[in-house]
Chain A
Amino acid sequence: MSTAEDEPQKSTGISLPWKIILVVLPIAAALASLCFGRYAMPIQDIFHAIHDAIFGGNTVSPQVATVLWSMRMPRILLALLAGAGLSAAGCAFQSLFSNPLATPDTIGVASGASFGAALGLLMNFGLMGVQVVSLIFGLAALILTILAGSNKKRSNLNSVVLAGIMMGSLFSALVSLVKFAADPENQLPAITYWLMGSLDAAGYDSLLLGAPPILVGLAVLLLLRWRLNLLPLSEDEARSTGVNVTVLRGITILCATMITASVVSMCGQVGWVGLLVPHMCRMKFGNNHTALLPASVLAGGAFLVVVDTVARSISASEFPISILTALIGAPFFIYLMRRTGGWQL
């Protein structure tokens, strides 16, 4: 039995104040984001509007209600989902490949989805069409990567990574080809702008199609959070715990890919979130996925809401979000790394 003399056992999870912060952060960010923008509204209006929506009534102007419900709300929901999803996917891939540089795009899925979207834009499909084509090509990229990288005799994750990088550059080249073929007056800017990532197109229709894969992927990863700790171990070590590691890896890849493809299909390539947020959480909460994964999900959602709010508020025309994630994220990341003394890999 541990006695008072023993070193107090440090909690392996997240301390209570941090739990509260992590839960409040995305909600607070979302509420603040509802107020900000080129049509600023006081927080009371938000509460009134929410009250109206639930209990009926007419306390806010229809203009406020429209901006709130059909413009800002879906956009914030998308930011929450995309941020949470990309962080979780990045975190899972880093552990899976035992590589701190792994991102949601490591196995070529985001490039595949980007190509799909570019193709959709080239063909002048509508927004939903672009999203569907993008999702299909994202999953196609995964299948091609797995086929190219896996070997009948034994599965080697490094060859999967290599195959993924190849598949990524293949699809990037195809994206360039589409750009080359695109009409430079309107298609090319549309494709370029889309590739930089934007939550501009958010709408309930698009969410209805894109949210379920993200939510399912997140739910499965969160449920498996303890077992994800086996992923960074060596093959023999992981197998010797009696867990079927091949299945665990397969499920992880599938969930992370589903999330990534779906995010990219809705808002293009939002870079950095999947790399920065998990590492920030690793520094703060350690590498145990029971703490790391929920923290990444919550912090990722909050982070992207904040970044997107800035993106749509700072200038008259909307600012590409990938630029901002890097501009805000990288310095903060470096600050955190220096303050915590980094973390050991």
Chain B
Amino acid sequence: MKLTVEHTSFGYKKSTPVIQNLSFTAESGQLIAILGPNGAGKTTLLRCTTGLLKWNKGISRLDGENTNQMPAKEIWKKVAYVPQARGSFAALNVTDMILLGTTSRVGVFATPGQKERDLVVQLTEELGIQRLLNKNCNEISGGELQMVLIARALAGKPDLLILDEPESALDFKNQLIVLNTMSRLVAEGICVIFNTHYPDHALSRATHSLILQKGGASIFGETSKIVTEENIKKAFGVQAVIGKTETAGHVYQSVVPLKVIKAQGTCEKVADSTQQQLALISCIITDPGIQPKLNTLLKQYETYIVSHDEKPLQKATIATITMSAPAEEVTSLAHEISVFPGVAVKTTAVPKQEAANG
């Protein structure tokens, strides 16, 4: 699956554009976070991306086809959308709710059969919510409903899963469950795009991020080059520091907001600086399924990689990557590796200058 959005714009009224000249690409295996202040148009962006709204300008292609011209049915064969969870009148039970996701694949006058029911059981087992199958959607918690809606979306067997603030109204255990589910789906090979209010979640999960500013400007790229203190200041009007918490296997980043300031300026993707680093990225890979994905990723950074060794150690694999690259590229690769589930990763680096002088 490949989605390319090229120079698109959208506004409910011509005079006030919500999104201007937006470009990004989404591919299988990527987890993309969309950040932006309240009212910037994040949901609008998702609705345009799914074809629920049509772009006014520019072109968006799903596997090469212009989404503005694709019949809705064709788009929804590849794309699934999880709106913000809320109860509705006449709530169904969980099984039926998930079965609704298969509707377009059963005949107009037909009712989902045993095949679809088996799929529902399988999906709920994978998501760990089989205990909910017989409950009514009104009896379950917000976090559980969110998982049910994800299951409903997955019942359509999408290549691209789009979620609108999936973790917003949840406590942090449930946030973690939802985020883990997204990471796992991406590791299994689909593409996930989600809106979020939490830069932390973008930093801990997303391979790529997109920041949408009020007025319609946007930037897109590898998360470590997008979610920065500078861009948070410009987009949200919040002075913040990005702190680091180190555990045995990871360095986690989190955003600490300090002070409200005026949001001004246009966000910019971090460019490569002139400062070159010698770096060693060491990983312990406990999930063998990640190996091919890691190799694909390393291909993208080929020019900067000096050497790459892997050796098995008991059931895990130890990988060491040596790089000579601008600091930003080192951070970016290390970050992209760190969002894989089942990989512990740390970086050691020195400025090249120092190495030469030393």
Partners in one complex: yes
| Residues of A near any B CB (own CB < 8 A) | 2, 6-7, 9-10, 12, 94-95, 98-100, 223-227, 229-230, 232-234, 236-237, 239-244, 282, 286-288, 290, 344-345
B193 to chain A, nearest CB (A): 14
In the bound assembly, the distance between CA atoms of A287 and B92 in angstroms comes to 6
Check A240–B81 contact: CB distance below 8 A. yes
**A98 x B104 contact (CB < 8 A):** no
Q: Is the CB of B133 within 8 A of A9?
A: yes
Collect the chain B residues with CB atoms within 8 Å of residue A236's CB. Answer: 47, 52, 81, 83
Cβ contacts under 8 Å, A224 to chain B: 108-109
CB-CB under 8 A for A240 and B111, given A10-B134, A94-B90, A230-B100: no
Total A-B pairs, Cβ < 8 A: 100
- Cβ-based interface call for B77 (8 A): yes
B contacts with A, residue count (CB < 8 A): 41
Beyond A241-B100, A243-B103, whether A232 also contacts B73 by CB under 8 A is no
**Cβ contacts under 8 Å, A233 to chain B:** 88, 100
Within the assembled complex, what's the spacing in Å between the Cα atoms of A48 and B130?
56
B173-205: CB near A (< 8 Å → 1, else 0) gives 000000000000000000000000000000000
Is A226 a contact of B110 with CB atoms below 8 Å?
Answer: yes
Q: Which of A9, A229, A242, A287 contacts B76 (CB 8 A)?
A: A242
> Using Cβ atoms and an 8 Å threshold, which residues of chain A touch B93?
10, 12, 286, 288
**Residue in B72, B92, B121 whose CB lies within 8 Å of A242:** B72
Choice from A12, A223, A237, A244 contacting B95 with Cβ under 8 Å: A12
- A223 proximity list for chain B (CB < 8 A): 109
Closest approach, in angstroms, between the C-beta of A10 and any C-beta of chain B? Answer: 4
Tell me which residues across on chain A come within 8 A of B110, comparing CB atoms: 226
Query: B41 at interface (Cβ–Cβ under 8 A)?
Result: no
- Name A239's contact: one of B52, B111, B133 (CB within 8 Å): B52
Instruction: Name the A residues within 8 Å of B101 (CB-CB).
Output: 241
Q: Which residue of the partner chain, among B72, B90, B108, B156, contacts A227 with CB atoms under 8 Å? A: B108
Closest to B97 in A: A229
Task: Report the bound CA distance from A234 to B134 in whole Å.
Answer: 23
Binary CB contact string for chain B from 34 to 56 against chain A (1 if under 8 A, 0 otherwise): 00000000000001001010000
CB-contact partner of B103 in A6, A230, A232, A344, under 8 A: A230
**Pair A242/B73 contact, Cβ less than 8 Å:** yes
A225 pairs with B89, CB closer than 8 A:
no
Provided the pairs A226-B111, A241-B103, A241-B104 are in contact, do residues A7 and B134 lie with their beta carbons within 8 angstroms?
A: yes
In the assembled complex, the CB of B155 is this many whole angstroms from the nearest CB of chain A, namely: 9
Q: CA of A119 to CA of B110 in the docked complex: distance in angstroms?
A: 43
B297 at the interface (CB under 8 A from A): no
Q: Which of A98, A234, A243 contacts B90 (CB 8 A)?
A: A98
Q: How far is the CB of A220 from chain B (nearest CB, A)?
A: 9
Q: How many Å from the CB of A92 to the closest CB on chain B?
A: 11
- B106 CB-CB contact with A under 8 Å: yes
Q: In the assembled complex, which residues on chain B have CB atoms less than 8 Å from the CB atom of A244?
A: 72-73
Q: Contacts of B89 on A, CB cut-off 8 Å?
A: 94-95, 98-100, 232, 345
A270 to B183, CA, bound (A): 56
Cβ–Cβ < 8 Å partners of A94 in chain B: 89-90
How far is it, in angstroms, between the C-alpha of A6 and the C-alpha of B104 when the chains are bound? Answer: 30
Does any Cβ of A come within 8 Å of B249's Cβ?
no
